Structure 1
Amino acid sequence: MGSGVVSWLMRIGESKPDSAHDPVDNLAIFIILLCACIIILGLGTGITLLVLTGGKSSNILVFDVELFFTYFLPPIIFNARLQVKKEHFFKNLMDIMLFGAFGTLISFFITSFDINFVFYTAIGAIFSATDSICTLQVLNQDELPLLYSLVFGEGV
């Protein structure tokens, strides 16, 4: 693996005409520089927080769940609602309802099987209702309109 990286870096240094530059090389350089900038920014922020707090544990950057659910999540859901193509959604409404009802019930029973019934059934219901949101992030609405509208509707 080391020799492959070295040969790749040597190819980058070779002089080529502008039209012969490999776009993969340019993208790789961009990603490497972006990662380096993120690491340097993270190290700088961490060192600054350590110096300011005297080396003790800092609670400056703590994730506030209530803040997220109150202010950040509603605009995300509202934006997803505006992005969906309504004709695909309403054309497949019956399938969406079936997927939503039966999928949630199946996921609920699988998740909450053979554990403390009261506490973990609530967890199973929550997990089964939010799994489709992750799927929507990888689907392209223009390429797969039927699948996108079914998953979006089931998630809603």
Structure 2
Amino acid sequence: MLIVLGIVIGALLFYSEAATVSPLTADVFFLYMLPPIILDAGYFMPNRLFFDHLGTILVFAVIGTIWNCLTIGISLYAVSLTGLFGVEISVLHIFLFSALISAVDPVAVLAVFEEIQVEEVLYILVFGESLLNDGVTVVLYHLFEGYSEIGEENIIAQDLASGVLSFLLVALGGTLIGIIWGFLTAFVTRWTNHVRVIEPIFVFVMAYLAYLNAEIFHFSGILA
């Protein structure tokens, strides 16, 4: 229903002479649309449950996502060797595609979970995994994108090692920046108890600054 609603509104705007619609570019999406979505998911997350089951969530989000990416990539590469695709596709481009589709979107599942009131641990495992999965898939995508630019025939063992290190650096760097901005926000809002009307502004602005700060250093803005 949401997809149909989007198509209807998009068609009305597209064919309406009164409205001018700016094209949706990657910059518009990543700089203006994605941060509020991620902030909403993180802000309303049940913190205690999340950290109580952080180990399991990390297994699903990190190891599970890498496993998905590798198995999808290897399977597609095996199919490409049979010639069923009709075109020759580079193994790096196949893994780039597999990283792209390894992202999960459990919105419908979580909506059903809320409706039938499932056990809280199951809910937080799916919710937490989906939240961290986005950051991991973005890092994997950029990793294979970098390998594609180098070229399959030019990759050496040093490039593979630096890729693994950059994966850890981007993920941990984004998380660290998020922690720093979290402390800064907590510190600033300590002094606003008499003017609470401005506190939502700090929450929005400083969360957005955390996202931009991570992107400036090429870390994961989603994890931040």
TM-score calculated relative to the size of structure 2: 0.40
Query: Equivalent residue for 2:62?
Result: 101
The CA deviation at 1:105 is 2.2
3-state SS of 1:84 partner: coil
Q: 1:62 to 1:146 in 2, by over 3 A?
A: same
Query: Equivalent residue for 2:106?
Result: 135
Query: Equivalent residue for 2:165?
Result: none
Number of residues paired by the alignment? 109
Deviations 1:47-95 (A, max 9, x none): 537xx9xxxxxx9453222101111101110110011101110111111
> What is the root-mean-square deviation of aligned Cα atoms in Å?
3.3
Residue of 112, 115, 122 corresponding to 1:147: 122
TM-score calculated relative to the size of structure 1: 0.55
The CA deviation at 1:45 is 6.1
Question: Is 1:87 matched up with 2:38?
Answer: no
Query: Equivalent residue for 1:46?
Result: 15
| Contact 2:13–2:21 (8 Å) recurs in 1 | no
The CA deviation at 1:108 is 0.6
The CA deviation at 1:147 is 2.2
> What letter is aligned with 2:123?
Y
Deviations 1:89-122 (A, max 9, x none): 0111111111123311221122212153212212
Distance of 1:40 and 1:71 partners within structure 2: 20
Q: Unpaired segments of 5 or more residues in structure 1?
A: 1-34, 53-58
4+ runs deviating over 4 angstroms:
38-45
User: 137-146 or 101-110, which moves further after superposition?
Assistant: 137-146
3-state SS of 1:74 partner: helix
| Contact 1:99–1:154 (8 Å) recurs in 2 | yes
> What letter is aligned with 1:120?
I
The share of aligned pairs that are identical, in percent, is 28
> What letter is aligned with 2:93?
F
Distance of 1:40 and 1:125 partners within structure 2: 31
User: 84-93 or 99-108, which moves further after superposition?
Assistant: 99-108
Matches within 5 A, 1:3-14: none
Q: Unpaired segments of 5 or more residues in structure 2?
A: 81-89, 133-224
Matches within 5 A, 1:109-120: 109-113=70-74, 114=77, 116-120=90-94
Question: Is 1:76 matched up with 2:76?
Answer: no
| Contact 2:14–2:21 (8 Å) recurs in 1 | no
Q: 1:86 to 1:62 in 2, by over 3 A?
A: same
> What letter is aligned with 2:127?
F
Query: Equivalent residue for 1:18?
Result: none
**Structure having the higher Rg:** 1
Distance of 1:99 and 1:40 partners within structure 2: 36
